[in-house]
Structure 1
Amino acid sequence: MGFLDILLGRTKAVAPDLDRLFGLPSAAVTLQAAAGFTPTGTGAVCFASVEGAAFADAHREVRELLEADTDRAESSSSGEPGAGPPVEVTRDEYGYSWLVSRRAPDDLPALVSDLHAVNSTLEGSGFGPQLLCSVVAFEETGEPGPARRRLGLVYLYKRGTFYPFAPSADGGGRRDNALELRIKAALADDLRVEQDLGRWFPVWGAPGL
């Protein structure tokens, strides 16, 4: 990093390493043992929307790839809990798009493969700069439905790192910072956790949270 970069607060870009997503299943085991959170079966990739035929084609390719999964189709048609609409696209209040994938809660490896495929397809089509993050949703076990706390493990595409995002149980647009730091410590050996807390951006409106 050059002197000018230091003065301007710039750092060199880190090459994305999407294979780090495959560390999530083992991290989920640690998360359940340490904090009592289990996957909900919902995950999503967030990206900045782009107009144009090329992006529309890449977007369609991603959806067709996921919807062609025979295991997903069988799961959805059988009405398995957590299956829901297998693939959908939503847009949050900030204008970002989310491509949402749903699997059975006990099939986290398949969900992670979906997220990897979405990121890889968009990256391979030249839309890496539009990729922002991927989120996998977890919920607290052993509590009544409305009282269950939610937690997202967020993968920052451009950093290649993870961090926890925990909305407070009482809502109101607040975060449970104590829980987030507890999860950070618990997953230190399972994932490459983002050490710069200033980059733990809130992902309000993320699917499943």
Structure 2
Amino acid sequence: MKFLDALLGRVKPAPSKTDALFSISTAQVTLATKLDILPAGKAGICFKIVQSTSFERLKSDLEELLELGKKETSTEFRMVKDAFGYLWIVLSDAEFEDLVTTLHLVSETLIENGFGGLLLSSVFRFERAAGTARAAGEAVVYFIYNYKKGRFYPFVPLKGKGRARDEQYEMKLGSLLERELPVEKEVENWYPMWGVPV
């Protein structure tokens, strides 16, 4: 059948890697109920900047789109250029679903306009509930979605310890959520994102 499809020029569209973003919605329930890790109301998407008029036009269109979306969802946004020359769209919203939907919309807009190759990652910030056993040491947990791989991985920076991370806890989180999230299997690809503006 695949041969016949190829012969007749019929191609099945590949499932969009961006749809995997929605799996974080289920995972956040598990994080809350099993580990007292709650959404912090912040998320962001990071992509490479290119010097072109079409990219500048797209950036302007994205701002318009996000302003319109703000009227519907109350999702606040800001654009930040980081030290590596990447552009971040940082979102704030108490409704986790709105954050997920908005990041999906931004990534799909980039892809539809031919800039999908510029996408680096989406980052969701979580925080441990006050009073939990680990809250004092590592209050922040990030889940990072790598667009090239189409997979998530956890990142847990250690508070007040420079560029140290809790790799053991990251492994625990990855194992806990592997049935709900497409978790990156190669741990060496769990790249730390220091200084994220999320």
TM-score (norm 2): 0.85
Q: Distance in 1 between matches of 2:110 and 2:80?
A: 17
Provide the residue aligned with 1:61 in structure 2.
61
Where do residues 29-40 of structure 1 align in structure 2 (5 Å cutoff)?
29-40=29-40
8 Å CA contact retained: 2:138, 2:157: no
Distance 1:201 1:149, change over 3 A: same
Pick one of 165, 172, 180 that aligns with 2:170: 180
Q: Which residues of structure 1 form unaligned runs of 5+?
A: 1-13, 74-82
Where do residues 120-135 of structure 1 align in structure 2 (5 Å cutoff)?
120-135=108-123
8 Å CA contact retained: 2:27, 2:181: yes
8 Å CA contact retained: 1:137, 1:150: yes
- Superposed CA deviations along residues 150-184 of structure 1, whole A, max 9, x for unmatched, are 01111110111100011112231111111111100
Q: What secondary structure is seen at the aligned counterpart in 1 of 2:27?
A: helix
Provide the residue aligned with 1:115 in structure 2.
103
8 Å CA contact retained: 1:15, 1:159: no
Distance 1:129 1:169, change over 3 A: same
Q: What secondary structure is seen at the aligned counterpart in 1 of 2:88?
A: strand
Provide the residue aligned with 1:92 in structure 2.
82
Letter in 1 for 2:56: A
Q: What secondary structure is seen at the aligned counterpart in 2 of 1:126?
A: coil
- Superposed CA deviations along residues 79-131 of structure 1, whole A, max 9, x for unmatched, are xxxx7xx1111122222221111111xx1111100100110001111111110
Letter in 2 for 1:32: A
Q: Which residues of structure 2 form unaligned runs of 5+?
A: 1-13
Pick one of 192, 195, 198 that aligns with 1:202: 192
Where do residues 98-177 of structure 1 align in structure 2 (5 Å cutoff)?
98-104=88-94, 107-143=95-131, 149-177=139-167
Q: What secondary structure is seen at the aligned counterpart in 1 of 2:84?
A: coil
Q: Distance in 2 between matches of 1:147 and 1:177?
A: 13
Q: What secondary structure is seen at the aligned counterpart in 2 of 1:110?
A: helix
Q: Distance in 1 between matches of 2:63 and 2:131?
A: 34
RMSD: 2.0
Q: What secondary structure is seen at the aligned counterpart in 1 of 2:127?
A: strand
Provide the residue aligned with 1:72 in structure 2.
73
8 Å CA contact retained: 1:42, 1:207: no
Letter in 1 for 2:183: V
Q: What secondary structure is seen at the aligned counterpart in 1 of 2:19?
A: helix
The higher-RCO structure (CA 8 Å, 6+ apart) is 1
Q: What secondary structure is seen at the aligned counterpart in 2 of 1:19?
A: helix
Q: What secondary structure is seen at the aligned counterpart in 2 of 1:151?
A: strand
